[in-house]
Amino acid sequence: MAYQRITLTVNDLTETVDVPQNMTLLQMLRQKLSLTGTKNGCSAGECGACTVLMNGEPVNSCMVLAAECEGATIVTVEGLAKNGKLSKVQEAVAKAGGVQCGFCTPGMMISATALLERNPNPSDDEIRQAIVGNLCRCTGYFRIVNGIKEAAKM
Amino acid sequence: MANAKSKEKPSSPIGASLQRNDVYEKVTGSAIYVDDLQFGNRLLYAHVLRSPHPHALIKSIDTSKAEKLPGVKVVVTGKDFPERMGLYLKDKTIFALDRVRFIGEPVAAVAAVSEEIAMKACDLIEVEYEILEAVFDAEYGASDKAPLIHPQLGEYYCPNYLFPKPGTNISNHFKIRRGNCEAAWKECAYIVERTFHIPHIQHVPIETHGAIALMDEKGKMTIWASSQSPFAQRNIIAQALHITQTDLRVIAPLVGGGFGSKAGVTMEAIPAALATKCKGWPVKLMLTREEEFFTNFVRQGLTTHVKVGCDKDGNILALKNVMYWDAGASTEYGANVVRAAGYSSSGPYDIPNIETDSICVYTNHPIGGAYRGFGMSELHTGIDQAIDELAEKAGFDKVTFLKKNAISEGDIIVTGMKMHANGIQECIDNVAKSIEFSKKEEPTSPDRVRGKGIAIMWKAPATSPNPGSSAWVELAEDGKVTVGLGGQELGQGTFTVMAQMAAAALGVKYEDVRIAGPIDTQYSPYEWQTVASRLTWSMGNAVRAAAADARRQILDVVAEAWKENPEDLDIVNGVVVSYKSEKETPLANLVIYGLPRENNGGWIGGPIVGRGSFMPQYITNLDLETGQGPRAVVHYTVGCEGLDIEIDKNTGKIHVVKAAASFDVGKAINPELVKGQIEGGFVQGLSSALFEEIRLRNGVMTNPSFVDYRIATAPDVNFPLDVPFVEVPQDDGPWGARGVGEHPMVPTIAALGNAIYNATGIRLDGPPYSAEKVYLAMYDAGLTK
C-alpha cells in the first residue's frame, strides 16, 4: 500500500502524518493520532458517531480519506473543551441529561457545535434536523435537543 | 471541636437528581470503550468465516492454504473447541462442529497481523457443505414434519426449570394451567380471538460488539470486552476452554449500549479461542455493523394466538395464549425468554382462568437472546391489543376496563403467587389524564385521522432463581469513598445511583464517592449480570449493605476511642459526630489509621472495608404441567403508556401528537435518570413499533444496514412525552426502589396498535406499523383512495 505524507491542523495543533492511501480520516484520528474520542459505529457514513468538523463543516470521518485532508483544519470532540472548561454544548447537554451510554455523544457534540456556529438561535425542528445523522439508541433525543437549545441561550 | 462541615444541612442523595458521575468523560471523548484500548504492535486481528447456509452439514474444512498465507498467526475451527456452552441451555459451541444452523454462524476464525490478511485468509479456507432442508417458521418447526435442527437436544445440559422435548425442535415448552378455561368460556358474554406476528428486531447498540483476548505463557487468560456480563463470561468461557474461572479475567470498560445484546456470551469466545493457540499475543475482534445485525443476538420473532373473554359486567374471566417463538439456531439464552413470557402471560390483569403454552422453537434464523423487556414487549403486543378490543366489545370505556381488571395487592397471580403493593391504578390515571384519553379530538388537517391508544404492562426480573450481587466500600486517607461493584454502566446511570446509595448509607456527600472501574473480575466483587432491570434493586441492596457495614465499623472505632455508645454517634457529611458529647472528628485518616487510645494506650481500628452481598433466596421452581408454584419471581414493575396520534390518509404515515408513560418505580433514587430511562425506552419501543424488522428471506437478513434497517432519528421524536412516575415502595428494595430499565419499551407497540385501531378501526396483525403497511390497510378498508 502506498503511503502519503499529509500536513493538517487537528484541534489547533499542526500534525504531519504518513497515511496509507486507503486510510480514512477516522482511522487516522484513532490509530495515528490516538484521538479515540471519535467513535466508529458503522464504517459506512450512516450512524454519525464519527462526526468531526472538517474546515468548519461536520463530516462523517469514516467517509473521508485521510489523504484528502492535506491542509485541512479538523476539530474532534477532544478539541471542544478548552483548558478543562467544557464548551457550551458539552456543558448544556450534560446538564440536560442528554448523555447515557455516551457512544453517540462525541459525534452529537460536533454536529451541535456546527449547528450553533451557522445558526445561533435554532428552532427545535432545526436542532432535530441538524442531528438527524447522529443515531442515539439510549436517550430518545429529548434531552439532547433540550441541551442544544439551552446551549444556544448561553 | 466545632466543624463547619457537619453543620451544613445534610441533603439526602436519595431522590436527588444529581449529575451523572461519568458525564465529563463522555462529553469530552475521554471515556474509554473497548475499541479505545491500546495493545501495541503485538496485537493480532481476528476475522471470522461464517456460514453462508441456513442449515447444512459440514463435510470437510481445509485450512491449509489460509495457514500458509504470510502474516497469519493461527487458524481455528470447531474441532478445536467442541465444548457446548450457554447461559441456560448448553446448546451452542464457539464454532460450528459438524453442522451449521444459521447464516452467519462462525465456522472458522483467523488471527493475523492485519485485518486485511485475516480477511484474505478466511477467503482461503475451503469448506464443503451438504445442504439440508431448513426451518424458517416456528409453527412449522414445532410440527413433526419439520427437519430436526438439534438432533442431540436430549444430551444437552439444561437447568431444571426449562423443559426441552428431545426428538423435536422444541427446546422449552412452558405451560400455565390455572383454573378451568374451557368452563370459563361458557360464562363469557364477550370473547375476542386474535393472532399477532411480531418480527425479529435487533438491539442496535451504537457501539458494536468487541473483545480482545490474551493468554499468557502459563495459560492465564484476560479478556477485555464490551460486556453486560463479565462474570457470566468468566464462568461460561472458562468452562468452554477448559480453564479455571480463577485463570480467566474479564475486564469490561464502559459499554456503548447493550439492551441485552451484550449479556451472556456471544462473540467474546472467538478471540478467546484464538488466543489459546497464540500465547502472549493479544487477539482483537470488533464486529462490523453488518455482523452486529444478524450474527450475534437478535430479538426472536413471535406468533401469538390470543383468546380472551369477559362477563357482561366486564370482568375478564379467561385468557388463552399460545405463543410460538421463532428462537433461532440456538436457544441457550432465549429458552428463558420463552419461560418469562409464560410465567407472566396474564399481563398485569387479574384473570382467574388461564391457559398458556409458550413454545420455544429452533429455526434456522439468527439466534434470539436477551432483549430489553425479555419477551414482555412481544407478549403485551398480543394481550393488550386483544383486551383493547374486548373492552370495546363489552361496551366499556377502555380506561375503566383496564382499571377494573388490573392486578392489585393481594390478588393471586398467574403462577399462584400473591401480588405485592403496586401503583398500576395511578399509572393508568396519569396516562389517561396526560393525553386526555376520554376526550375525542379532531385531526389537525382534513387529510388526517386521529386516535388515542393506551396499554398497561408488567415485568419481573427474569433471571436464574438465585442471581447474586456483592459490593465493598473502602475509604482513603482523605476520607473519600470508593465503591467496588460488579454491575456494569451501560448508560442507564447505575454508577451514579450506586454512588448516591453509598453516600446515603454511609453519611458522606455524593461528590465524595467514586466507583471502582472498569469492572474487572480479578478485583471487582461478583455480580451475576447487568440485565433484567435488577441492579438498582439487587446491587443496590449489596452496596447499601456494604456502606452500612463500613459505617458500623467506623462508629465502633470512634465509640471505643471516645468511650461512648455507637448508638449515640452518626456520620454527617463525612464527619463523625456524637449527639451525646457533641464531639466531632472527620473521617480523614481515621478510616486508615484508626484512633489513639487515651493515655498512650495504643491504637484502635485500622483500614475500613465494608462488605455487602444480596441474593434472593425465595424463588421456587414451577410445576411442569401447570406452571404453578409459591413464588416465581422477585417482584413486578408495572406501568402504562398512551399515545395520541394522527395518520396521514394520503401516505399512511403516523404522527405522534402527544405521548405519556407512567411506571411505578418504587422509589426514584435519581428522578431525572429515571425519566431519562423512560423517555429512551419509550422511543426504542416506538422505533420498534414504527420502523424495525429484520427482514428474513430463506434465512438471509436482507436489510443489515442503517439505510435498510431504520431506527428512530431525532426528527421522528418531535412530540411531547410526559413521564410522571409513581412510587409505591418495594418491600425489599433499597429505599423501596425497583427497576425500570426495560419496562418503558414493553407496552409501546400495543399502545400504538390500539391508537391506530381507534383512529381507523383497523387492527393490524403486527408491527412495524410502517406508512406503507398502514396506507395499504386503510386503502383496503376503503378509508383512503
Beta-carbon contacts of B616 under 8 Å, excluding residues fewer than 6 positions away, are B465, B466, B467, B538, B634
Q: DSSP letters along B36-62, please?
A: G---GGG-EEEEEEE-SSSSEEEEEEE
Phi, psi of B561 (to 5 degrees): -65, -35
The residue out of A29, A59, A79 marking a domain boundary is A79
> Which value, to the nearest 10 degrees, does the dihedral of the CA atoms of residues B462, B463, B468, B469 take?
-40
A65 and A92 housed in the same domain:
no
**Residue extents of the structural domains in chain B:** 4-26+467-614, 42-133+211-288, 301-463+621-780
A92 and A74 housed in the same domain:
no
DSSP letter assigned to residue B113: S
Question: Alpha-carbon distance B255 to B33, whole Å?
Answer: 6
pLDDT at A127 over 70: yes
Give residue B7's pLDDT: 63
* Helix ranges restricted to H, A37-141: 88-96, 105-118, 124-130
Interface test with A, best of B20, B25, B28 (most A CBs within 10 A): B28
Residue B713 Cα, gap to closest chain A Cα (Å): 6
The class that CATH gives domain B301-463+621-780 is alpha beta
- pTM of this prediction? 0.98
Tell me whether strands A73-75 and A3-10 are parallel, antiparallel or unpaired.
parallel
Interface test with A, best of B27, B120, B209 (most A CBs within 10 A): B27
DSSP letter assigned to residue B474: E
Cβ–Cβ < 8 Å for B773, B652? yes
Chain-centre distance for alpha carbon B137: 25
The torsion region of residue A25 among left (phi > 0), alpha (psi -120 to 50) and beta comes to: alpha
At A135, which amino acid appears? L
User: Are the beta carbons of A40 and B29 separated by less than 8 Å?
Assistant: no
What's the CA angle centered on B271, arms B270 and B272, to 5 degrees? 85
A95 and A63 housed in the same domain:
no
Question: Alpha-carbon distance B384 to B779, whole Å?
Answer: 25
Give residue B2's pLDDT: 45
Q: How far is CA B157 from CA A84, B83, B161, B171, B262, in A?
A: 54, 11, 12, 12, 23
Q: How far is CA B588 from CA B477, B554, B573, B574, in A?
A: 5, 11, 12, 8
Find, among B492, B512, B476, the residue nearest to B13 by Cα.
B512
Which of B28, B492, B706 lies at the smallest CB-CB distance from A135? B706
pLDDT at A90 over 90: yes
User: Are the beta carbons of A99 and B257 separated by less than 8 Å?
Assistant: no
Interface contact A144, partner B, CB < 8 A: yes
Average per-residue pLDDT for chain A: 98
Cβ–Cβ < 8 Å for B662, B456? no
DSSP letter assigned to residue B243: -
Q: A127 to chain B: which residues are within 8 Å by CB?
A: 714
Residue B44 Cα, gap to closest chain A Cα (Å): 15
User: Are the beta carbons of A109 and B673 separated by less than 8 Å?
Assistant: no
User: Are the beta carbons of B706 and A109 separated by less than 8 Å?
Assistant: no
Give residue B6's pLDDT: 59
Q: DSSP letters along B122-155, please?
A: HHT-EEEEEE------HHHHHSTTSPPS-TTGGG
A103 and A123 housed in the same domain:
yes
Interface A-B, measured as beta-carbon pairs within 8 A, has a size of 165
Q: A124 to chain B: which residues are within 8 Å by CB?
A: 718
Interface contact A13, partner B, CB < 8 A: no
Residue of B nearest to A99 (CA): B23
Three cell numbers at B135? 426451518
Measured between its terminal Cα atoms, the distance across chain A in Å is 48
Find, among B69, B83, B68, B76, the residue nearest to B46 by Cα.
B76
Helix, strand and coil percent figures for chain A, each rounded to 5? 40, 20, 40
Find, among A111, A104, A101, the residue nearest to A151 by Cα.
A111
Interface test with B, best of A1, A111, A142, A144 (most B CBs within 10 A): A142
A100 and A41 housed in the same domain:
no
A65 and A112 housed in the same domain:
no
Helices (H) and strands (E) in chain B, counts: 19, 31
Question: Alpha-carbon distance B85 to B102, whole Å?
Answer: 17
Residue B431 Cα, gap to closest chain A Cα (Å): 19
Domain of A23: which CATH number? 3.10.20.30
The residues pairing with B209 across neighbouring beta strands, listed in sequence order, are none
User: Are the beta carbons of A42 and B706 separated by less than 8 Å?
Assistant: yes
A62 and A94 housed in the same domain:
no
Q: DSSP letters along B576-640, please?
A: EEETTT--EEESTTHHHH-EEPGGG--EE----EEEEEE---------TTT---S-S-S--EEEE
Helix, strand and coil percent figures for chain B, each rounded to 5? 30, 25, 45
User: Are the beta carbons of A103 and B718 separated by less than 8 Å?
Assistant: no
B4-26+467-614 and B42-133+211-288 share one CATH topology? no
A62 and A114 housed in the same domain:
no
The residue out of A54, A79, A104 marking a domain boundary is A79
Q: B31 to chain A: which residues are within 8 Å by CB?
A: 102
User: How many domains, in total, are found in chain A?
Assistant: 2
Find, among B260, B291, B262, the residue nearest to A43 by Cα.
B291
A73 and A102 housed in the same domain:
no
The torsion region of residue B328 among left (phi > 0), alpha (psi -120 to 50) and beta comes to: left
DSSP letter assigned to residue B688: H
The residues pairing with B611 across neighbouring beta strands, listed in sequence order, are B472
User: Are the beta carbons of B713 and A145 separated by less than 8 Å?
Assistant: no
At B476, which amino acid appears? A
Question: Alpha-carbon distance B554 to B569, whole Å?
Answer: 10
Interface contact A60, partner B, CB < 8 A: no
Which of A37, A47, A102 lies at the smallest CB-CB distance from B706? A47
Residue A25 Cα, gap to closest chain B Cα (Å): 16
Q: Which CATH number fits domain B4-26+467-614: 3.50.50.60, 3.30.465.10, 3.30.365.10, 3.40.50.970?
A: 3.30.365.10
User: Are the beta carbons of A127 and B714 separated by less than 8 Å?
Assistant: yes
Interface contact A29, partner B, CB < 8 A: no
Give residue A1's pLDDT: 74
Reduced to 3 states, what is the DSSP secondary structure of residue B259?
A: coil
Three cell numbers at B309? 373473554
Cβ–Cβ < 8 Å for A151, A98? no
Give residue A107's pLDDT: 98
Range of the domain at A126: 88-153
The residue out of A53, A79, A105 marking a domain boundary is A79
Q: Tell me which residues of chain A, numbers 84 to 143, contact chain B at a CB-CB cutoff of 8 Å.
A: 86, 90-91, 93-95, 97, 99-106, 109, 124-125, 127-129, 131-143
A70 and A103 housed in the same domain:
no
CB atoms within 10 A of CB B89: 25
Q: How far is CA B17 from CA A97, B11, B245, B393, in A?
A: 10, 12, 39, 45
* Helix ranges restricted to H, A16-141: 25-27, 88-96, 105-118, 124-130
Give residue B363's pLDDT: 98
Could you read off the pLDDT of A29-75 as tens digits, one per residue?
999 999 999 999 999 999 999 999 999 999 999 999 999 999 999 99
Under-70 pLDDT residues of chain B = 1-9
CB atoms within 10 A of CB B312: 11
Domain B42-133+211-288: what homologous superfamily? Aldehyde oxidase/xanthine dehydrogenase, a/b hammerhead (3.90.1170.50)
**Element housing B165 (H / E):** none
Give residue B11's pLDDT: 84
Q: Which residue has the higher pLDDT, A100 or B598?
A: A100
Which of B26, B204, B721 lies at the smallest CB-CB distance from A105? B26
